[in-house]
Each structure stands twice: as C-alpha cells, then as structure tokens.
A = this chain, B = another copy of it.
C-alpha cells in the first residue's frame, strides 16, 4: 500500500543500487583463507553502514579454525549489532552473510562478476542475491523508517558473518556463547538466504538434514590383476556393489528397515500447502533434462524433495575412475552415499539403522573382506511451526507488498543455520527469501532482479510492521 511505497521511496532506488554495487565490488570470496582480508574489509564496510544508521556494532571474536593442512588460522569477526531498544517492542534478530562464492570471468560470466551490471532489469554480480543484496535490503528497510522519521516498529538486532560459504566456522560456538547475552532478549530470528521456489514470493518453513556415509570394503593386501586372479577372489568392488544395491529400489524407496519410521505423517493442512505452489512440472523436466521424475504429480515431486527422506549414491573411491580401461581388482573401495533426513528422523538413529542394514547384508555375502561403515555427523532437519507470529506476519507482509498469498515452501538441502538458531537459542526462526528462483546463486551470472531487490526491501519493512501488530 501507499504507506510502504512512501517509506521506501525515501531511500532512492539509485542509492540502493549504488550501495549494492560498492558491496559487490569487494571480492569477499571466503573459499581461500589467504584472502580473508577481503572478507574483513567487507565486514568493516557493513559495520560502518550500520554505525552510520545509528546502530551499535560489536565485531565479535569468532575464535580460530584448523585448516585441513593442520595450520590454525584466526577467523574473521562476526558482526553483532543492535539499534536503540524499546522494551515494549518485540526484538527481531536478522541473520545475513557478506562473503561470496568464487567467481571468475573465465567460468563463463557475461559481465565482470565484481562490477554490478544492470541488464534488462537484472542486477548481475557475485553476491547480488547471495547474500549482499538481501543484507542491504534489511538495512534499507530499517533506513526507510528512519528517513520518514517513523518509529521502527520492532527492536532490530543483526548477526552478520563472513564465512557462510565455507561452513560458518566459529559461528555456532559464538551463538552458543551469546545465548544468554546477545540472544537473551531476542523474540524472533529471521533469515533471508535462500530463494523462492517459483515466481511467487515464499516463506520457508523447513529444511532437510543430511548424513553422509562411507562404506569401506577392504580385501587383498594389494591391487590384483583381474586376468591372473579373476574368478578366485571375492572382489571388494563386488561386495560394495551388492551393499550399495541393497539401499534403494528403483522407485527411490529406501530399503533400510525402519529408517523412515519417524517421518512425520502428512496432515491434511500440510497437504493443502502444496496445492498453492505454482511449480510447473513440465518446465522443471526441461530445466533438469529428464523424461520423468520418480513421482507423477507436482505435489508428489515437491514432497519428495522437501518432506520425505532420500538416498543418493555419490560415487566410489579407490576403484578405477579414469577414462579408458584398466583391468584392476582394487584392494580397497569406499562407496559414498548420503541420506537426506526429515522431521522427526534422528541422525544417530538413522546412522545406527544404516550400519545394521549394511552389516546384515554383508553377512549374507560370506565375504573374506572387511567392512567398515562410518558416517559424518549429520545436519539435523528443521521445521518451523506455521502458527508462530513470524509466519503470520510474513504472510501478511507478502500480501501487503505483492498482493498475493505466499507459497509455503521448504528446502531439500541443509541450511544448518536455521536449525542451529532454533536449537541453540530456543527462539522462533523463519526464512523469508527475496531472491528469485532463477537467480543462480553459486553459479555464473548470479543476479538479483531490480524488482526482487526493491520489492524485497518493501517486504522487509512491511514485515517489521506486521510483526509489531501481532506482538
């Protein structure tokens, strides 16, 4: 409505885009620790912006991290910021990150990835949508209230990191440490670091978790020639193929007994959420390049990706993997697969069942080889309660700005930050994306559209307002 438009126009469009251009120009790729200086430059720039807006900023020590080489490095700090607090208002903590994925012209960018370039309404640049654009949109939403001399309807806190793309080193420890200080008075945590599922605005209320499994079969003491020994040896690769082949049937159903027992049953209310999603199955077949999915309907496909577990076999280490032919019997092979978990599956329970399953199948092979199954600590699945004020406010804000109902969506991949915030702080967490489904985060030619950037800023401003009404 007019109120929002009025608020927003106080930040001129050009200023908003100019600031994003300045931020994108900083090569804050966190992938290479020797370049974390750029990440710190970027964090300082963000801190300065918040200070100019009257925010109080702490550059919190995130500790150290041990690299795979064994070297221990100091981590860039994490921004913990807050604006003036009114005890009568609800307190919203906004999470964002200002580091980016690597980007090089040679990878196939049409424009310089570190020079924000507008083409036909799209703003191309590394970090434009993941996550510098959304972070600036949050700041601009705050600024729009300030510029119109309107009270910000909620107390605002910010937590902004610079290592999201490499796994948020140090962040989870910091959250734990500040649970009873910085997070003590926080009512709501909001994250805008994912994308819509379609062209319709969305609220994200769940992510799947993941456990990664290594199935090692060790046999002879050396690689053998298949001509000399083939037929007399129970080959580790044959054992492994039998084990991997026991995990799934051809419909994608996981064959590990009991593994899906704890999947939350689908309720009628939840099922209805899928009806409204404007996901086009035919278009998606073309995008992915498959003749058909494992499921027939839009709803089934989305549920398979978002709310049901899945198992993917990623590959084999130790076997022959180069082009060409080699007649080797590999002495030790390691199969790798992962299971995407959903509420209320429990990673340790899943890992135990998978190990038991593999050991049981292995015992039927009468093999002289040795089996070892290991699993990496799994990311837990996350699901939010749609009755929380945040979701009600988010839904209203989408209606205010876009005039449509939001799609209630999940992410199939892990976004551990949501689950971590919920678990470590006990607060309500919502993911409120403003990025387009075709923004190409992590890809060449990453962009955010001018439309999403500006309407997204309005959405955030409206969200502050709607949240304050409910509190």
A304 to B229, CA, bound (A): 8
| Alpha-carbon separation in the docked complex, A312 to B220 (Å) | 14
For chain A, residues 193 to 242, give those with C-beta under 8 angstroms from any C-beta of chain B. Answer: 208, 210, 212, 214, 219-222, 224-235, 237-239, 241-242
Task: Please provide the chain A residues from 400 to 440 with a CB less than 8 Å away from any CB of chain B in the complex.
Answer: 411-414
Question: Within 8 Å CB of A330, what residues of B?
Answer: 314-315
- In contact, B250 and A234 (Cβ under 8 angstroms): yes
Tell me if B319 and A230 are in contact (CB < 8 A).
Answer: no
Q: Write the nearest CB–CB distance from A324 to chain B, whole angstroms.
A: 9
Q: Which of A229, A292, A322 has the most CB of B within 10 A?
A: A229
A3-11, A145-153, A361-369 - interface stretch: A361-369
Contact assessment for B314 and A212 in the assembled complex, using a CB-CB cutoff below 8 Å: no
Q: Which of B221, B290, B311, B411 contacts A288 (CB 8 A)?
A: B221
Q: Is A309 an interface residue (CB 8 A)?
A: yes
A273 to chain B, nearest CB (A): 17
By the criterion CB–CB under 8 Å, are B320 and A315 in contact?
Answer: yes
Identify the closest chain B residue to A289 (Cβ).
Answer: B221
Known: A230-B312, A316-B316, A321-B321. A327 touches B238 (CB 8 A): no
Q: Which residues of A contact B (CB under 8 A)?
A: 208, 210, 212, 214, 219-222, 224-235, 237-239, 241-242, 244-245, 248, 250, 252, 288-295, 301, 304-305, 308-317, 319-323, 325-331, 336, 338, 340, 364-369, 376, 411-414
Q: Contacts A232-B301, A242-B245, A326-B336 known; list 18 others, CB within 8 Å.
A: A208-B227, A222-B288, A226-B338, A228-B413, A231-B304, A231-B310, A232-B293, A232-B310, A234-B293, A235-B312, A250-B364, A290-B369, A314-B326, A316-B316, A317-B321, A317-B322, A325-B338, A327-B338
